[in-house]
Amino acid sequence: MKKEKIKTNVMRVLDSRKLSYKSYEYEAGEPAPTGGEVAAMLGLDPARVFKTLVTVGASREHYVFMIPVLRELDLKKAARAVGEKNIEMIKSKELLPLTGYVHGGCSPIGMKKQFRTVVDISAEGLETIYFSAGKIGFQVELSPEDLKKVVDYSFADLCTEV
């Protein structure tokens, strides 16, 4: 008997928009693997695998940032990118009620509310990027152009210097 392929909410959104994507599954234990570990498990270039981070600004507005999994978000650069005096990461316990996603399975697609989203400039010009499909154990590969059809985002330099 053929195993039924699991569809996450992110995949259903992409299907409903008739966008071309690839999905990937990986073994997720406890605790959930880091983004770097996910890239290694799937044999992917970690520079093309992005994590989705949710922040809150001094104005109390929330923002979503997508950066490569092996990089760190520079909070000053992120604040400048969205015109805030400063921003901070939201607390882990706030993630699920705010976005509908758990830590390690957060995706920019299909959040309860669409927040202003900024993608690290390193994604500009890439044919495709990989990011969470909205559930731990699942990733999607999508072109930045197709992501733009689902999530209104801008590019900015967001990461700390290496």
Residue 61's pLDDT is what?
Answer: 97
Average pLDDT over residues 93-101: 95
Could you tell me the residue ranges of all domains in the chain?
Answer: 50-128+142-162
What number is the average pLDDT over the span 100-123? 95
DSSP notation for 39-98: HHHHT--GGGBEEEEEEEETTS-EEEEEEETTS-B-HHHHHHHHT-S-EEEPPHHHHHHH
pLDDT, averaged across the chain: 94
* pLDDT in the model for residue 17: 96
Q: What is the mean pLDDT of residues 85-109?
A: 95
What number of other Cβ atoms are within 10 A of residue 162's Cβ?
6
| C-alpha distance from residue 130 to each of 6, 25, 87, 91, 150 (Å) | 18, 12, 25, 24, 15
Phi first, then psi, for residue 119 (nearest 5°) are -110, 140
Per residue in 52-77, pLDDT (tens digit) is: 999 999 999 999 999 999 999 999 99
By the 10 Å C-beta count (0-12 exposed, 13-18 middle, 19+ buried), 140 is classed as buried
Residue range 50-128+142-162 forms a domain whose CATH class is alpha beta
Task: Please say if the pLDDT value at position 135 is more than 60.
Answer: yes
Produce one character per residue of 25-36: b if its CB has 16 or more CB atoms within 10 Å, e if not. eeebeeeebebe
pTM of the model: 0.94
Which pLDDT value is given to residue 162? Answer: 66
